[in-house]
Chain A
């Protein structure tokens, strides 16, 4: 065994503004999921107590949705370029077994985001557009008169399905951040260790050290 490792080098991954943007969006999403689920299934209605009861959960939920929408717009503008699909992303996806097994040596070198992260990004982008649009249709307190009851019925069904899908995507996102150790500090301290970047995003690390594209 080598001598005890020296302090690893660190690489900056997210600016303070990007992290703040992320956490505003993240907190909104969690609050939306809790208040939304409380109205989704009777067994979860008790969750509305966290918002001061069913009526206030109902009243505040759409407003948090507005915060989330604009929060996510910020994230979208920041990150969409780095999330554009690459040919190597198909290779990465075709080796899902190696991905889930943590055998990164069998995978192509990855830029700032791997195909899984890109899928999470694009799925969330689509789902949030669907959620805000269907949400406005059923925001009866302000927009009741703009749509028919049939449209509202459809919107509430679409809203529920999209929300469930978004929660599942969110579970994948959070789980991946936990499973791949050393990831969460990217969104807390803003930096990752060089080894983390080498192991998971080697192409990105190469670009960084050669002074290439930074985002």
Chain B
């Protein structure tokens, strides 16, 4: 459900719009992985606020619950037990996975349904379910493997960054529920400043590679991580090092789209021109006569 106003849109899937003139300040959710205790309060708050429920699952001996993002669980704590080769100590890495709200959203680029995916001037990328057709192109466009199609209504779901709460001046439900302030929310500018302070602190405590995850390959994101090992993002449950929209998707949604329509148009036009220039290829009465003679001659 989109609850910011249509006047706040800067992008709308499969549509050309005039981007909002009065831009809202860009927002960001900062997830400080070094502060996370893996309590899953964020997951609960997310289900609560969005009024969604999960079936009781099966324990397969891992901490993730559910086992993956689902059409109901827009966020998921992912746990990695990692032995730091430098210190030989076990580090428990916990990353809250979910939509990153890319500045250059692959889902929106791939979406064929007008207005099913929108981007607001504050950076939130939102799915508008009444326009969603359930094709799954957003899944192919997303560099983070986030959207999930519901088998109930065949529509795509993902984190909204609580656009309905943000629209009325609240932070996202997950941030509100987080007991350690590992999740905070504010303007992106402020979040980057806060992140810098956190990184300084982490570095002073020996995490010399502490850093921020705001990947430029997708134009930056509106969910940013503070990582104690920012040089190795992939150790955090395969967080991509340099995410970008797949070149296959770029070709599909770029060159192919235009070259394809052009090719079809050219074939049609050449046909019409050929007919105008050459006229119809008609059977002559001589042909009919010859056929008759052939038939009579033989039978």
Instruction: Give the interface of A toward B (CB within 8 A).
Output: 2, 5, 8-9, 11, 38-42, 45, 48, 53-55, 57-59, 100-102, 138, 140-141, 144, 149-150, 152-154, 156-157, 160-161, 164-165, 167-168, 171-172, 175, 178-182, 193-199, 205-206, 209-210
**Chain A nearest Cβ from B255, distance in angstroms:** 10
Task: Tally B residues with Cβ within 8 Å of A.
Answer: 51
Chain B residue with minimal CB distance to A169? Answer: B267
Q: Are B292 and A160 in contact (CB under 8 A)?
A: no
Q: Are A171 and B292 in contact (CB under 8 A)?
A: no
Instruction: Give the interface of B toward A (CB within 8 A).
Output: 14-15, 112-114, 131-137, 139-140, 145, 149, 154, 246, 248-249, 251-252, 256-257, 259-261, 263-264, 267-268, 271, 274-275, 278, 280-285, 287-292, 294-295, 298-299
**Chain A nearest Cβ from B185, distance in angstroms:** 29
B residues in contact with A168, CB < 8 Å: 263-264, 267
With known contacts A100-B278, A160-B256, A5–B288 Cβ distance under 8 A: yes
Excluding A38-B112, A45-B114, A102-B281, 16 further A-B contacts by CB distance (< 8 Å) are A2-B285, A40-B261, A41-B260, A140-B135, A157-B256, A160-B252, A167-B264, A171-B271, A172-B271, A178-B275, A179-B274, A179-B275, A193-B283, A195-B283, A195-B284, A209-B299
What total of A-B pairs shows CB separation below 8 Å?
164
Interface of B is mostly: helix
Q: Are A8 and B291 in contact (CB under 8 A)?
A: yes
Q: Are B136 and A181 in contact (CB under 8 A)?
A: no
A residues in contact with B283, CB < 8 Å: 181-182, 193, 195-196, 198-199
Other-chain contact of B133, A54, A138, A198 (Cβ < 8 Å) = A54
Interface of A is mostly: helix
Chain B residue with minimal CB distance to A197? Answer: B291
Query: Given the complex of chains A and B, what is the CA–CA distance between A167 and B289 in angstroms?
Result: 38
Q: Are B281 and A149 in contact (CB under 8 A)?
A: no
List of 10 A-B pairs having minimum Cβ-Cβ separation, nearest first:
A194-B291, A195-B288, A195-B287, A54-B133, A42-B14, A164-B260, A140-B136, A175-B271, A198-B291, A195-B283
With known contacts A2-B285, A157-B252, A209-B294, A149–B145 Cβ distance under 8 A: yes
B residues in contact with A179, CB < 8 Å: 271, 274-275, 278, 280-281
Chain A residue with minimal CB distance to B139? Answer: A149
B residues in contact with A165, CB < 8 Å: 263
Other-chain contact of A196, B131, B267, B287 (Cβ < 8 Å) = B287
With known contacts A8-B288, A181-B283, A58–B249 Cβ distance under 8 A: no
Query: Given the complex of chains A and B, what is the CA–CA distance between A140 and B139 in angstroms?
Result: 10
**Chain A nearest Cβ from B153, distance in angstroms:** 9
Q: Are B278 and A102 in contact (CB under 8 A)?
A: yes
Most interface-central of B15, B282, B284 (chain A CB within 10 A): B282
Q: Are A150 and B133 in contact (CB under 8 A)?
A: no
A residues in contact with B291, CB < 8 Å: 8-9, 11, 193-195, 197-198, 205
With known contacts A153-B252, A181-B281, A198-B287, A138–B112 Cβ distance under 8 A: no
With known contacts A8-B291, A157-B252, A171–B15 Cβ distance under 8 A: no
**Chain B nearest Cβ from A10, distance in angstroms:** 10
Q: Are A172 and B260 in contact (CB under 8 A)?
A: no
